[in-house]
Chain A
Amino acid sequence: MEILMSIAAGILFMAATYLMLSRSLLRIIIGTGLLSHGAHLLLLTMGGLKRGAVPLLGEKAPVYTDALPQALILTAIVISFGVTSFLLVLAYRAYQELGTDDMDKLRGNENHE
């Protein structure tokens, strides 16, 4: 399972990178979204996917799944959400002010370096 998940995360990274290399600002932000999904899955996978009970002590199970990566991912999700929403509003504002979302046009000019 871990091998499969590693490959899946790799594919998410690949798609994310491809999107981040494109011209449209929206596609770049979609790319960052994919990238954080890939990273979260990778965190979970690296913690080990052994079957065990949900990490709730009420279950009284002999083995629980690893709770620490879950806590880390939860933090990461919230942070990436904060950043993504900020980026989205930034893109929205950039378009409002500058009238384009084409990264090649958001380059500055000779006098503006």
Chain B
Amino acid sequence: MSLLHIVTFSPFLLAIFVPFFYKYIRKVHTGWFVLPLPVLLFAYFTQFISTVSHGNTYEQSFKWIPSLGIDVRLYVDGLSLLFSLLITGIGSLVILYSIYYLSKTKEALNSFYVYLLLFMGAMLGVVLSDNVIVLYTFWELTSLSSFLLIGYWYQREKSRYGAQKSMLITVFGGLAMLGGFILLYIMSGTFSIREMVQNVGTIASHELFIPALILVLLGAFTKSAQFPFHIWLPDAMEAPTPVSAYLHSATMVKAGIYLLARLSPIFADTSVWFVTVSAVGITTLFWGSFSAVKQTDLKGILAFSTISQLGLIMSLIGVGSAALHYEFLGDNIYVVAITAAVFHLINHATFKGSLFMVVGIVDHETGTRDIRKLGGLMSFMPITFTIAIIGCFAMAGLPPFNGFLSKEMFFTGMVHVTKMDIYNMETWGVLFPVLAWIASVFTFVYSMVIVFKTFTGKYQPEKLAKKPHEAPIGMLVPPIILASLVILFGLFPNLLAHSIIEPAMASIMPALLDTGEKFYVHISFWHGWTPELFMTMGVIALGVLLFITVAKWSKLYSLFPQKLALNHFYDRGLSAIDKGSYSFMRLWMTGFLRDYLVYIFAFLIAIVLGTLFVKDAFSMKFDNLAPVGVYEAILIIAMIIAAFMTVLSKSRLTAIIALGMVGYSVALFFILFRAPDLALTQLVIETISTALFLLCFYHLPEMQRLPKKFKFRMNNFLISLGVGVTVTLVALSSHSTKLFDSITQYFVENSYTEAGGKNIVNVILVDFRGFDTLFEITVLGIAAFGIYAMIKLRLTRKESEE
């Protein structure tokens, strides 16, 4: 148990104490007790910056299940440090924000902070774990805590719907990912990611490589809300705004990106990876930005914008994998895509976090998030307005904010795709820059919608629930910090380059580095007339034009049929599964005993006859048979006639007497086949049973309500014929394949000398195999008690009489 372990598990530990703070110290907002922890953790993780930027890593291991090779090995390198800083940094700001956002008296703060701490710990665990099983454990914990947080206001139906949807989709992906991890274990023999990276040669040539890749991608795509799994994210906006800011913009949705970046060294060198990741990313980018424009809810716009920006990062990771095809680092033009991915990851977390907080403030101070009701808030909320402008302009990719730089690098990466000579990129690679450019235009439009529809235009006080005014300072501090970071990283991007981005890139693409070599990132080439700059100008020009005319062309969205929307498919799919399984069970589980007997018998016939046929097991030998005697032949005929009489008889009495006839003829068989004890028992018992049957006959209703005539049922006949044939065939072939002699000779030799009895059967029953007899006596005893109880114990009748 090292300090790093304690740090990772500290949110869980604090979560235990949160309810006590909430219960016993009611005067202070519970958030204040939570806030110090992420701040401390952030400070702790900043220490690692100098270690990691010099190319070193830090690792601590703790045994969990050594026999299965599962240990909690935590590993700090560039990538996990970047994520840890994001999680703890934005976590601190979000908790500070939530202290002012959530009411001390009206909300159940204990559960809120317990869930949030649970999430923070789980997320730290995801990014620091080196063991994939531990990673998976934390991964599912993030799904679970996200579910709890989305359903925080559980009395609202939409919250429950959103929580269920996100749970179903992310857990589906999580399970697929677990499958992928297990396949990786089968291929490499280890659960440790770093050991897998060292064995990448054996993994890449294994036949399970592609299935593992697809399963892992499913996990990443569902978590990071990629097309077509993005549908859960807009519905997750029912969560409180601090949750949306933290989970659904800055941290959890980036877990999928983290996973892809982390496993890049294993998977990235294949065409499947390149094509899937970049194509899904660019589709998500386009679809998210296109759908964002038609939203009227501010959080809805931000949700689709998050989807689109995640798609952007995802496509950059996909495109960046092309860098692996070029040996030399110096003039490797595809490395820029990875740089852009890491840089935009940071940028997105900063500006999207601040935007969510801005929207939360607007919601908090006006009572609505609907842009049709909002407008003209600039003069009421100048600080919020400023933050919104900074965030939105960064999101739209305008200078001098950080989004501009990452968007330029994104364009550079996409333009380079057209120069590729692998994976048939010469032909359709041109789609990438085109789609990216169109998506950026839409991004520009919705960013402007957020700023100008909310803060400028006509002020409509009659539509607002509250009189708007500026938020309290505590609520403004976190977005101000984030907005300052947006400007800081925009003006001085190289602050990040050496300390954070280069080590993170080294973790994503270790194969590009020789020993001692380092990535060199210098983000300054935005001075210069590059094609990317012209693309940005085009984005601004067309974006402004589209924004001004948005009222005219937004009718296009209503042309898109609702039936083709993915949500529609999800809802219909769920109810179809529900109804389908229900009607299947209705069809199958009829409640009729006969139907179940038919299933059982049909299965028996199919399995036994099938096995006989498949294994070619049927055999029949005619030697070693006893001769057929006259008495036996007559008796068989009599018994078969009696058996048919039980079936064919019209009255119950005939059937019972025929059954008795079968029983007595069985007793006669026992005599013929030299079994006197059996014959005695059979005679007595058959007599008693027939008497019992007659007792029932007397008390049971007449058969007249049933069809009087014997009614032949073909299905039943076929089934019973099948059972009879199966039994006969099995009997014949087992009789013909006796592998060794009977053990009876022992009983013959020893029953007198050892047990002192001459009746071998009785000696077996009470001496050699006396236990059978003991429990057979028990069976009879239980039957007798049972019968007695059935007759005597009449609770329901007594109750009804009373």
A residues within 8 Å of B by Cβ?
1-27, 29-30, 33-34, 37-38, 40-42, 44-58, 64-68, 70-71, 73-75, 77-79, 81-86, 88-93, 95-97, 99-104, 106-108, 113
Contact = CB atoms under 8 A, between A and B. Distances in A.
Given A4-B632, A103-B594, A15 B646 contact: yes
Q: How large, as a class, is the contact surface on chain B? A: 35 or more
B659 A34 contact: yes
Interface stretch (B288-296, B536-544, B549-557, B752-760): B752-760
Contacts of B776: 75, 78-79
Contacts of B677: 70, 74
B674 A1 contact: no
Contacts of B662: 12, 33-34, 37
Given A41-B669, A52-B674, A92-B700, A85 B752 contact: no
Contact of A64 (B633, B666, B728, B748): B748
Interface string B637-665: 00110011011000010011001001100
B742 to A, nearest CB: 6
Contacts of A23: 594, 706
B587 interface: no
A21 B716 contact: yes
B729 to A, nearest CB: 8
A7 to B, nearest CB: 6
Contact of B673 (A38, A49, A106): A49
A9 B742 CA distance: 22
Contact of A91 (B696, B725, B758): B696
Interface stretch (B203-211, B276-284, B486-494, B765-773): B765-773
Given A30-B655, A74-B677, A8 B732 contact: no
Given A15-B647, A81-B689, A92-B696, 8 more contacts: A1-B626, A4-B636, A6-B731, A13-B727, A29-B696, A46-B734, A55-B674, A78-B681
A34 B676 CA distance: 21
13 contacts: A1-B625, A4-B636, A10-B724, A14-B720, A21-B720, A26-B652, A55-B759, A68-B747, A73-B678, A79-B776, A83-B783, A88-B695, A103-B593
A37 to B, nearest CB: 5
Nearest to A27: B655
B724 A97 contact: no
A78 B734 contact: no
B779 interface: yes
Kindly list the 6 A-B residue pairs having the minimum CB-CB distance in the complex, ordered from nearest.
A14-B724, A10-B728, A17-B720, A82-B783, A57-B758, A67-B760
Contact of A15 (B591, B627, B643, B706): B643
A23 to B, nearest CB: 6
A56 B760 contact: yes
Contacts of B748: 55, 57, 64, 67
Contact of A48 (B676, B724, B742): B742
A53 B760 CA distance: 12
A81 B625 contact: no
* Max chain B C-beta neighbours (<10 A), residue from A54, A74, A91: A74
A65 B644 CA distance: 31
Nearest to B637: A8
A34 B659 CA distance: 7
B705 interface: yes
B569 interface: no
B692 A46 contact: no
B719 interface: yes
A26 B701 CA distance: 10
Given A21-B716, A23-B706, A74 B701 contact: no
A14 B725 CA distance: 8
Contacts of A84: 689, 692
Contact of A37 (B592, B663, B751, B779): B663
Interface in B678-726: 678, 681-682, 685, 688-689, 692-693, 695-697, 699-701, 703, 705-706, 713, 716-717, 719-721, 723-725
Nearest to A49: B626
Contacts of B689: 33, 81, 84-85
B300 to A, nearest CB: 43
A18 B714 CA distance: 10
A67 B699 contact: no
Contact of B772 (A14, A20, A75): A75
A89 B793 CA distance: 13
B796 interface: yes
Contact of A7 (B675, B728, B760, B761): B728
A15 B773 CA distance: 30
Contacts of B598: 21
Contacts of B783: 82-83, 85-86
A78 B685 contact: yes
A38 to B, nearest CB: 7
Contacts of B666: 37, 40-41
Contacts of A45: 731, 735
Nearest to A12: B643
Interface stretch (B106-114, B495-503, B784-792): B784-792
* Max chain B C-beta neighbours (<10 A), residue from A14, A20, A41: A14
B601 interface: yes
Contacts of A47: 742
Contacts of B378: none
A13 B167 CA distance: 53
B597 interface: yes
A67 B748 CA distance: 8
A86 B743 contact: no
A26 B790 CA distance: 18
A104 B627 contact: no
B640 A8 contact: yes
B675 A70 contact: yes
A64 B669 CA distance: 17
B699 A96 contact: yes
B739 interface: no
B628 A4 contact: yes
Contacts of A73: 675, 678
A80 to B, nearest CB: 9
A22 B689 CA distance: 21
* Max chain B C-beta neighbours (<10 A), residue from A16, A45, A92: A92
Contacts of B743: 68
B303 to A, nearest CB: 42
B688 A6 contact: no
Contacts of B561: none
A74 B692 contact: no
A8 B703 CA distance: 29
B640 A11 contact: yes
A98 B301 CA distance: 64
